[in-house]
């Protein structure tokens, strides 16, 4: 009998040790799910400050000396624009505060140095070859940012708007001509995730002036279902041949998670289908959730797309899943995934703003977009 209090104390300690970390890491999940204005604004303020500092730094550097140029910079500015735009859509009275930064970030994503990696890969500049047939699908990322900025900013710079209209027309023509619903990111390589960003850019472009893009979006969505998804797992193939649709990689969670987010801008049923596959990849332990990178029957190492893969769980797939889970109302799944994101992302509040310490500017831009997803959803 004397041992009973010790046994009870030990059991309580074990239960606390098991439950406390998940509670602590998930304490902000409900605030993000319910669009708490203060929680969202603190991370938004950190991105607004970053973009302002980037403007000051950029003005003092030549493009060749710019320490912050290329693919990572493009994604950072694009995601900052998308996250702030989603806040603007959710609370229109806040638009006056966010729109200047949305436009500035979107315009920066169109700068030549942001697409140098694509220009090098193709030996041609995407904006100089719009009449051609080469895909340049990576340019869907900045095109989507500009689409969202133009929806919200009636004073968007006309020169960039004209370039953007021409890009959308080229993408639409290329997608409609593709029997697989794919266009290349690099020569002979197509990434369904990048093509999803192209579809998103086209769809949102229609909200600017009422242009009818339904034919190309329907064509893309049907080809996603019939040619780009692995039927056994529900995940998208990471890399494919644009012309023959043959897989060049496995069905993977990282590509599917980001594709599901982009699909939400263009076609809700496609987003729901991709999210269903993603949810089947979820693993959980003591209240923490993660997304497996590789579909059953496939394996591989981590790479630039997946981030580190630990015990089969992908850092990128887990983070990307936040967006479609929130947008489509999967609250319990979102909460489990958020706990893991907070555990490794290390949220920190300082002064009036907040940020995630792991991942730097690109991590904060991504998380703002992923954690505020929902208002952008296509009808």
The answer to whether residues 45 and 352 touch, using CB atoms and an 8 Å cutoff, is yes
**pLDDT tens digit string along 82-101?**
999 999 999 999 999 999 99
Beta bridge partners of 237: 251
Secondary structure class of 73 (helix, strand, coil): helix
Beta bridge partners of 134: none
The larger pLDDT score, comparing residue 136 to residue 28, is at: 136
Give CA–CA dist 257/87, Å, rounded: 21
Give CA–CA dist 190/186, Å, rounded: 7
- 8 has pLDDT over 90: no
Percentage of the chain beyond pLDDT 70 is 88
* Residues 259/262/268/272 CA torsion (nearest 10 deg): 30
Of the candidate ranges 45-59, 106-120, 281-295, the one whose mean pLDDT is the lowest: 45-59
pLDDT given for residue 15 in this prediction = 46
195 Rama sector, left if φ>0, alpha if ψ -120 to 50, beta otherwise: alpha
What phi and psi, each to the nearest 5 degrees, are found at residue 236? -75, 150
pLDDT given for residue 221 in this prediction = 98
pLDDT given for residue 18 in this prediction = 47
The larger pLDDT score, comparing residue 155 to residue 286, is at: 155
pLDDT given for residue 256 in this prediction = 98
Residue 336, C-beta contacts closer than 8 angstroms, at least 6 positions apart: 26, 282, 284, 287, 288, 289
**pLDDT tens digit string along 316-368?**
999 999 999 999 999 999 999 999 988 877 666 766 667 776 778 899 999 99
The answer to whether residues 157 and 93 touch, using CB atoms and an 8 Å cutoff, is no
pLDDT given for residue 360 in this prediction = 85
What is the layout of strands, in order, in the sheet containing 313-314? 282-285, 288-292, 313-314, 309-310
- 13 has pLDDT over 80: no
> Which CATH number among 1.10.730.10, 3.40.50.1820, 3.40.50.150, 1.50.10.10 corresponds to the domain 40-371?
1.50.10.10
């Amino acid at each position: 009998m004397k041992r009973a209090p010790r046994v009870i104390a030990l059991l309580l300690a074990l239960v606390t040790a098991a439950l406390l970390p998940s509670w602590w890491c998930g304490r902000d999940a409900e605030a993000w799910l319910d669009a708490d204005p203060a929680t969202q604004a603190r991370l938004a303020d950190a991105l607004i400050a970053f973009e302002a500092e980037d403007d000051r730094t950029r003005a003092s550097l030549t493009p060749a000396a710019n320490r912050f140029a290329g693919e990572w910079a493009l994604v950072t500015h694009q995601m900052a624009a998308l996250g702030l735009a989603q806040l603007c859509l959710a609370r229109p009275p806040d638009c006056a505060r966010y729109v200047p930064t949305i436009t500035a970030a979107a315009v920066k994503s169109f700068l030549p140095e942001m697409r140098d990696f694509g220009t090098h890969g193709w030996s041609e500049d995407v904006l100089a070859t719009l009449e051609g047939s080469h895909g340049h699908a990576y340019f869907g990322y900045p095109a989507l940012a500009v689409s969202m900025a133009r929806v919200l900013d009636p004073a968007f710079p006309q020169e960039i708007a004209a370039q953007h209209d021409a890009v959308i027309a080229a993408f639409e023509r290329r997608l409609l001509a593709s029997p697989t619903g794919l266009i290349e990111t690099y020569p002979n390589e197509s990434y369904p995730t990048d093509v999803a960003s192209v579809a998103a850019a086209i769809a949102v472009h229609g909200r600017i002036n009422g242009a009818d893009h339904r034919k190309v979006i329907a064509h893309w969505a049907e080809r996603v279902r019939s040619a780009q998804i692995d039927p056994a797992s529900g995940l998208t193939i990471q890399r494919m041949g644009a012309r023959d649709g043959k897989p060049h990689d496995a069905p993977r969670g990282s590509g599917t998670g980001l594709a599901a987010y982009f699909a939400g801008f263009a076609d809700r049923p496609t987003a729901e289908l991709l999210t269903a596959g993603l949810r089947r990849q979820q693993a959980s332990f003591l209240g923490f959730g993660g997304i497996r990178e590789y579909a059953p029957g496939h394996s591989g190492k981590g790479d630039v797309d997946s981030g580190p893969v630990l015990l089969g769980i992908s850092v990128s797939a887990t983070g990307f899943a936040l967006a479609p889970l929130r947008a489509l109302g999967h609250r319990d799944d979102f909460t489990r995934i958020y706990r893991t994101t907070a555990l490794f992302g290390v949220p920190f509040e300082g002064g009036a703003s907040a940020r995630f310490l792991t991942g730097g500017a690109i991590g904060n831009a991504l998380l703002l977009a992923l954690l505020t997803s929902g208002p952008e959803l296509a009808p």
